[in-house]
Chain A
């Protein structure tokens, strides 16, 4: 149980195009989804937190107009990288959290999406 999928697993695009990445919780309802990016040999950096049906909360330094997040249902969140540039090339990982009644809601991570912008 508690499986999170991401699609696509890798994508190569030209500079200036937009790329959409999907994150799905397959066997549970995710009240909260998180989007991270990871550069080589670096930590996972939280980009934004999204709750179903409301606007995402972005971390400082993350451009909300560039990284559009939609959390339309309890099982799907999308991250759209608009007008992608080579510096946006990174490994993007989502995680999903369910309301479990415990004090700390465990996050379940997707397998990640490797984005390469040429």
Chain B
């Protein structure tokens, strides 16, 4: 049973437009969510996170929205740039997870077209 789901395996967006990546989760114990960016043959790099006590967190061009009632979060990138082309992973954890283990979604491959 996949607890973190990214239902869109890929997304193409024109440069300068908004990219919206979606993530759903099923475990209501999750209270902290993270987005990672991954290039081929490299490890993931942390992008932005949000705690369940918030519904929005913004960092430059990146904004994460959390809808707890719907168990849904989204990452908005605006404006999108070609360098944003990568696989984006949504991850979740909870404070009772001991070592704060992360549960990852399958990722969404974003392609930003110049």
CB contacts between A and B, total, < 8 Å? 61
- Asked if B16 is at the interface (CB within 8 A of a chain A CB), the reply is no
Q: How far is the CA of A114 from the CA of B43 in the complex (A)?
A: 11
Label chain A's interface by main secondary structure: strand
Determine if A104 and B32 form an interchain contact, defined as CB atoms under 8 angstroms apart: yes
With the chains together, A93 CA to B42 CA distance in Å?
9
B interface residues, tally (CB under 8 Å): 25
How many residues on the A side are at the interface (Cβ–Cβ under 8 A)?
28
CA A42 to CA B9, docked complex, whole Å = 10
Stretch from A43-51, A62-70, A72-80, A82-90 contacting the other chain: A43-51
- Are A42 and B101 in contact (CB-based, < 8 A)? no
Whole-angstrom distance from the CB of A42 to the nearest CB of chain B?
Answer: 6
Interface readout for A81-118 with B: 1 if CB under 8 Å, 0 if not? 00000000001010101000001111111111010000
Contact B101 A46 (CB under 8 A): yes
Q: Does A4 contact B (CB under 8 A)?
A: yes
**A4-B43, A93-B44, A106-B46 are known contacts. Are A46 and B95 too (CB-CB below 8 A)?**
no
Give the shortest distance, in Å, between A49 (CB) and chain B (any CB): 5
Complex alpha-carbon distance, A106 and B32, angstroms: 11
B101 with A112: CB separation less than 8 A: no
Interface on A for B, CB 8 Å cutoff? 4, 6, 9, 32, 34, 41-46, 49, 51, 91, 93, 95, 97, 103-112, 114
